[in-house]
Structure 1
Amino acid sequence: MPAGWWMGLPAVLAVAAVLTWCARRYALRRKLFDQPGERRSHVVATPRGGGIAIVVTLLLALAAAAVIWPGARTLLLVSGLGLVLVAGIGWWDDHRPLPAVRRLLVHLLAAGLLAGLVWDATGNPWQALLALLFTTSLINIWNFMDGINGIATSQAILVGAAFALVLPGPLALAGIVLALACLGFLPFNFPNARIFMGDVGSGALGYAVAALVCLASVSTDISWLLLLVPLTAFLVDAGFTLLSRMLSGQRWMEPHTQHLYQRAVKSGATHTSVTGTYFVFGLFSITVFNACTYLQPRWEAAVAVAWIFFATGLWLLLRKGMRY
């Protein structure tokens, strides 16, 4: 990549950090706090909504990209609009809680925009439908998994780095910018949380990660299954926890503390150790991912299935020892 592009990357980190500081001052002034409770993993009232800094940073990066690459303006505009929709409904929910159905409808609309881009790029309606379902799910998964200090942000950093290594040419900047925007926010949330991301940030991160996966699916030959490997920790924990709640007849959309990472904290582990454990597992996941991206498609899929089975077995083993 040209040196000029690299010179702009420190600005992404700086802008995200400054905006997070501003978001914290705003939250304190407006008294936007997440209060401790039985269904939460923190014990001190903490400002929320800091994820708006990541969102604004990503939107500024999209605007800069539209100036540099005018031929990609439509794609950037549509994906940016989807990000605004998800972040906007999350920002509203952070200020005044909304019904889950209303949020889901907005998520579907934003996911539909991303799916439309996939359809336009591939001409494959089934791949577009997969993008729609996957994006809607990931928006909510990232929200569900944003329950302890640093976990959602650090996993997004890993995903951004993983896809930056496999996306061709300038497209790699999408992963780098996502990782840097999250890195600018992280010191305010980990190891001690001075502000939480809030729904504005967690849902938007899920959308941004889904956009990276969709981008890789249309710009590389990597199997869809292998593209899921960098997300294994969240997909397995969120997916099987929600499935177990559904099968037991619980109201799965309600807040709870039954995810594996939440059980670990309830069992006495610190936020730092749990987030660190997920980060280490994420490092293994992206190592497997990057090592296998040049295999034949059937072997990529086989490795992905084997890795997800391994992660599922590990999840079951650890969860069994953390009943409470």
Structure 2
Amino acid sequence: MPGLPVAAAWLALLFVASLAGTVAARRYAIRRDLLDHPGERRSHVVATPRGGGIGIVVAMLGALGLLAWWNPAQALPMALAATGLLLVSGIGWIDDHRPLTPWSRLAVHAVASVLLAAVAYGAGGQWVCALLAFALCMVLVNIWNFMDGIDGIAALQALVVAAAITLLANVAAARWIALALAAACFGFLPLNLPRARIFLGDVGSGALGYLLALAMVLAATGGGQATSPAAWVLLLLPPSAFFLDASLTLLVRMLRGERWWTPHVGHLYQRAAREVGRHWPVTLAYAAWAMVAGGLAFAIRDRPETFIMCSGIAWYLGGGILWLGSGAHRGLDSGLPGKQSG
């Protein structure tokens, strides 16, 4: 890894690349009429271009290449990661142009998750790490897609979680990827918050989930932490708001016998945005939750493993109770054809 001034210069370049890519994607989307129009299963009120996440993808492909250049030992893992990123973002890009079935997208996500599992196995040398990486990738890719429904929420949440990973990771590769992702998200947000002039699209939301999974896997499986459940628990605290809202909403829909794989506007963040009448306060509230959770993870990182495990369980239980107390489960409705955008 280079020194701080050189790394800072590269991060600034990644920010510019992401911003420029987002601007170019907006022009392309307007020219090709790739617009998300308001509807019953969407949270926005004006037609908005989609696919802006391609700028983040381009910047992060550059970041992965830089890491392989600086450290040749990372060349193969980064090649696998870049291939997985291209698969996830590529199927999302196609879906942004012409809707695909959920099962075709999941199949591609599974292949990308296998590649990330290979990265984890190479870093930690344990099959359990590979299995955890596969599961984490599948979950995060789809959670970030589910939660990309209002202005700024998915990109800002990814930025905060990436910043937390930077503080928690003892592995240089994980810190670099997390920092690069934060810079790339920062380049996208000027056109997405407080009022979205372009949405991430499936190309961006899935890519964010995949890249966060990559950073978390490298942080958990490197530095002698491969067998420590506490390392995984610490890393799962910052994205807990997304985990809780997405998983509990999905669970309730499944228990009700609804078509859980179809889009809807029943997540807690969507209900809150409708009640508030604006998106950005809800987006900032979710970011604040992630910041507090990241601060908790940083504060307890050196405590005994049992304490960390109990703290993580307590945090998720408390969040689940708050979710139920909000009444979000009573406001869920059946999904109808259409797509969420944010």
- The normalised TM-score by structure 2 is 0.91
How many Å separate the matches in 1 of 2:327 and 2:92?
Answer: 30
- Give yes or no for the alignment of 1:218 onto 2:226: no
Q: 1:1-324 to 2 correspondence within 5 Å?
A: 2=3, 3-168=5-170, 170-171=172-173, 172-220=175-223, 221=225, 222-320=230-328, 323=331
How many Å separate the matches in 2 of 1:14 and 1:205?
Answer: 18
The answer on whether the counterparts of 2:64 and 2:177 sit within 8 Å (CA) in structure 1 is no
How many Å separate the matches in 1 of 2:210 and 2:29?
Answer: 23
Q: Are residues 120 and 52 of structure 1, via their aligned partners in 2, closer, same or farther at CA, if it must alter by over 3 Å? A: same
DSSP 3-state at the match of 1:10: helix
Q: Tell me the amino acid that sits aligned with residue 190 of structure 2.
A: P
How far is 1:58 from its partner? 0.1
Q: Tell me the amino acid that sits aligned with residue 79 of structure 1.
A: A
How many Å separate the matches in 2 of 1:166 and 1:276?
Answer: 22
How many Å separate the matches in 1 of 2:206 and 2:247?
Answer: 16
Sequence identity (%): 45
Extract unaligned runs of 5+ from structure 2. 333-342
How far is 1:269 from its partner? 3.4
Q: Are residues 321 and 60 of structure 1, via their aligned partners in 2, closer, same or farther at CA, if it must alter by over 3 Å? A: closer
- Judge which range, 149-158 or 273-282, deviates more: 273-282
How far is 1:321 from its partner? 9.3
Q: Write the deviation string for residues 240-269 of structure 1: whole angstroms up to 9, x where unpaired.
A: 000000000001110001100011123243
DSSP 3-state at the match of 2:246: helix
Q: Tell me the amino acid that sits aligned with residue 309 of structure 2.
A: A
Partner residue of 2:338? none
The answer on whether the counterparts of 2:152 and 2:189 sit within 8 Å (CA) in structure 1 is yes
Q: Tell me the amino acid that sits aligned with residue 146 of structure 2.
A: F
The answer on whether the counterparts of 1:264 and 1:322 sit within 8 Å (CA) in structure 2 is no
Q: Write the deviation string for residues 141-174 of structure 1: whole angstroms up to 9, x where unpaired.
A: 0000000000000110011100111223632111
Q: Write the deviation string for residues 171-200 of structure 1: whole angstroms up to 9, x where unpaired.
A: 211111000100000010000110000000
How many Å separate the matches in 2 of 1:164 and 1:122?
Answer: 19
The answer on whether the counterparts of 1:263 and 1:322 sit within 8 Å (CA) in structure 2 is no
Partner residue of 2:337? none
DSSP 3-state at the match of 1:230: coil
DSSP 3-state at the match of 2:261: coil
How far is 1:213 from its partner? 1.2
Q: Tell me the amino acid that sits aligned with residue 54 of structure 1.
A: I
Partner residue of 2:335? none
How far is 1:120 from its partner? 2.4
The answer on whether the counterparts of 1:142 and 1:206 sit within 8 Å (CA) in structure 2 is yes
The answer on whether the counterparts of 2:163 and 2:179 sit within 8 Å (CA) in structure 1 is yes
Q: Write the deviation string for residues 102-134 of structure 1: whole angstroms up to 9, x where unpaired.
A: 100000000010011212222322221121112
The answer on whether the counterparts of 1:83 and 1:208 sit within 8 Å (CA) in structure 2 is yes
Q: Tell me the amino acid that sits aligned with residue 164 of structure 2.
A: A
The answer on whether the counterparts of 2:55 and 2:188 sit within 8 Å (CA) in structure 1 is yes
> Where has structure 1 moved over 4 Å in runs of 4 or more?
none
Q: Tell me the amino acid that sits aligned with residue 167 of structure 1.
A: A
Q: Write the deviation string for residues 1-52 of structure 1: whole angstroms up to 9, x where unpaired.
A: 6132222211111111111111100101111001111011001110000000
How many Å separate the matches in 2 of 1:86 and 1:14?
Answer: 23
How many Å separate the matches in 2 of 1:211 and 1:303?
Answer: 24
The answer on whether the counterparts of 1:226 and 1:303 sit within 8 Å (CA) in structure 2 is no
How many Å separate the matches in 2 of 1:281 and 1:170?
Answer: 26
- The normalised TM-score by structure 1 is 0.96
Extract unaligned runs of 5+ from structure 1. none
